[in-house]
Amino acid sequence: MTTRDFSFIEQNIAWLLPLIIGDSILRGYSLWKASQSSRKYWFIALFIVNSLGLLPLIYLIFIDRKKLTHEKKA
């Protein structure tokens, strides 16, 4: 039986933990916004793709913001 070496995680927990928490918050919020906007394909992409917060940020900044500006003009 082999033992796993978790020294990388132990040595870098100070920046890994905030990264994981931030990614989880962004992912959850963007999934919620995509489901509220009935954007099925974005919801699936956000759910499947693990991009360390990049895809949720793209969705929240560019895609969801477009919806808000269109609603204000109408």
List the chain domain ranges.
23-73
pTM: 0.64
Number of Cβ within a 10 Å radius of residue 42: 21
With H, G, I as helix, E, B as strand and everything else as coil, classify residue 12. coil
Residue 41 to residue 49: CA distance in whole angstroms: 12
CA distances to 26, 39, 58, 67 from 63, in Å: 14, 10, 7, 7
Q: For the chain, which ranges sit under pLDDT 50?
A: 1
The predicted structure's pLDDT at residue 74: 55
Tell me, what's the pLDDT at 7?
Answer: 83
Q: What is the pLDDT of residue 52?
A: 65
Assigned token pair, 28:
């959850």
